[in-house]
Amino acid sequence: MKFFLDTANIDEIREGAALGVLDGVTTNPSLMAKEDGDDYPAVLKEICDIVGGPVSAEVVADESGEMIRQGRAFARLSEHIVVKIPMTPEGMKAVKALSADDIKTNVTLCFSANQGLIAAKAGATYISPFIGRLDDAGMDGMQVVADLVDIYERYAFRTQVLAASIRHPMHVVEAARLGADVSTMPYKIFQQLFKHPLTDIGIELFNRDWAKVMERRKANVRR
């Protein structure tokens, strides 16, 4: 499974990349609005340079022609750009056109297997089922992931399942067990993947025991 960061924060992305396990980044207008910069293309290009992997840039339009225009402009920024497009009829027109131009796409705001099936038939590179939002609405977000993985394998669709709206580390584990290709998550969740209380206890114990060894060594030298 690939790990993507769901952020537009350059510091978080640099730190994630330095850890050596970051494969890509997803952004959206809301994430961009949280940051200080107002030059969206410049930020996207910097993120692409840092990550060297897929970076989703979301269009902001309701009509397919404008989505296509924005998508082509994003794609010119870097070979790593993936154009993020909403799951609407106009969005699917844009996905079809951009796919014909060999521009990668990420269909966002997916909440059902039917929507994911349509996106795959339109030629989407990625489909983003929003797990957390489905769970919040009293539905089973992971069931949509499971359905999409099964459908895509059954019909040999090349669209990758990108688990989005990740709320906690177990979402990542569950998505991986179901065969999702990617999990995209906030930096806070990404950090939590590394942590376990027994790891912390073990490190503390090793450090304490090593300190005893060093104290004995110092005592022997003094003799």
| Catalytic positions, written as ranges | 84
**In Å, what is the CA distance from 205 to each residue of 125, 173, 194, 199?**
47, 28, 18, 10
Shortest CA distance to 27 belongs to which of 61, 4, 49?
4
Q: Other C-beta atoms within 10 Å of 172: how many?
A: 22
* DSSP track, 2-59: EEEEE---HHHHHHHHHTT---EEE--HHHHHHSS---HHHHHHHHHHHH-S-EEEE-
Residues 6 or more apart from 192 whose CB is under 8 A from it?
Answer: 168, 169
The Cα 72–Cα 52 span in angstroms is: 19
